[in-house]
Chain A
């Protein structure tokens, strides 16, 4: 019994501390399917994915993450203002597009205009929770611009990340949902009904930033993620280069 207790006590330090030099990266949930293979071979990084609004909040509260990628420049700018991110480190990383998807079999290979949404037989439309999830903010902006928001509001189901929207649509818990074009990784699971006109919402710019007084390892990761090789893989997956680069 004492030996077991001693063993358990000996394990405590291993269970707590992180390996020396490991960098924590917080990344927008929409990057998870694309980053997972990219970072699988790389050691020394721990990634946590989530809604950008929630990630920004976590950084503000002192989560020891040193590199952050957010799907809304506003969340990033807020962190710079709060003195969390290094000034000048926050730069556009990638751009994305908004699409309406559905997995309902009867809608296979159908196309819709955004205006048709009001009349479409969709009881539940999944969107990102606009409080925290950028894709939800862009969606609401587009619906507002089209004058559809008030009419559709009772049918909107706000969910906690863009991946949750994808899941709700693919398991048919919702009839349709708004996600990024890059979320449609498996076309058999859901099809795009409509590509939302980018003029209807703020540009969808993913930003990357570095915590103030970041370690050299974190700076290396920050540079590596912005390298042409990584960007080429991500643009190959449907992300767009930010304008002006």
Chain B
């Protein structure tokens, strides 16, 4: 049976990942649509920059975020003036995992929109639907699988985030110690059995997310 500590860690991990996905999804949705549907100058440069967190070492990203949020930077000072000090809180963990999960979510949103037949959209337009109506009644429902896949894969990435989180949120028991950090800490303190339980929980969560993801994958079998 999982003890109190394990439940606390699992709950926190879940909270952080849900919040990470929640703040990043609207961005990924909008930018994914933009990249799939619009031509604009420097489009490929923008696309490359947005994918950067996927290949950058998480520690480098963590360092950037640390600088941005600390009082060294204008951004951190502005936040401080508003009474916001996110460093070493679970909110910082959600921010960091969101940034790390963003490129994956963007990719799947983009693919979701690209899979929608544009002729269906123009047909709806000629039948008198407004742009917004087309988006709500045609594009979004047809891109549904890609968008859901983006949510699931983003969540899976967020629950496994380690490097950037450690830097901006620390490893504070009960506050910012998520599953990957709990595995690390229990290993270092010689609690192998606990580490094993945490690892088993991670595997279970990751498998669940992957099974869900396989069923949603836009190119997967099923409707097609």
Contacts and interface: CB of A to CB of B under 8 A. Distances in A.
B170 A57 contact: no
A209 to B, nearest CB: 18
30 contacts: A51-B188, A57-B188, A57-B189, A57-B190, A60-B190, A124-B87, A129-B171, A131-B185, A131-B188, A131-B189, A132-B188, A132-B189, A157-B88, A157-B170, A158-B170, A158-B171, A158-B172, A158-B173, A159-B170, A159-B171, A160-B171, A171-B67, A171-B72, A172-B70, A172-B71, A172-B72, A173-B66, A173-B70, A173-B87, A174-B87
Interface residues of A, number: 18
Interface of B: 66-67, 69-72, 76, 85, 87-88, 166, 170-173, 185, 188-190
A191 to B, nearest CB: 16
A41 to B, nearest CB: 29
A103 B185 CA distance: 29
A174 B85 CA distance: 10
Contacts of A51: 188
Contacts of B170: 157-159
A230 to B, nearest CB: 29
Contacts of B85: 123-124
A148 interface: no
Instruction: Give 6 nearest A-B pairs by CB, closest first.
Output: A172-B71, A173-B70, A172-B70, A157-B88, A54-B188, A131-B189
Contacts of B88: 124, 157, 173-174
A182 to B, nearest CB: 24
Contacts of A173: 66, 69-70, 87-88
A56 B173 CA distance: 22
Contacts of A54: 188
Contacts of B185: 131
Most chain B Cβ neighbours within 10 Å, of A60, A158, A172: A172
A172 B88 CA distance: 12
Contacts of B173: 158
A160 B185 CA distance: 10
A171 to B, nearest CB: 5
Contacts of A171: 66-67, 70, 72
Given A54-B188, A158-B173, 11 more contacts: A53-B189, A60-B190, A123-B85, A131-B185, A132-B189, A171-B67, A171-B72, A172-B71, A172-B72, A173-B70, A174-B87
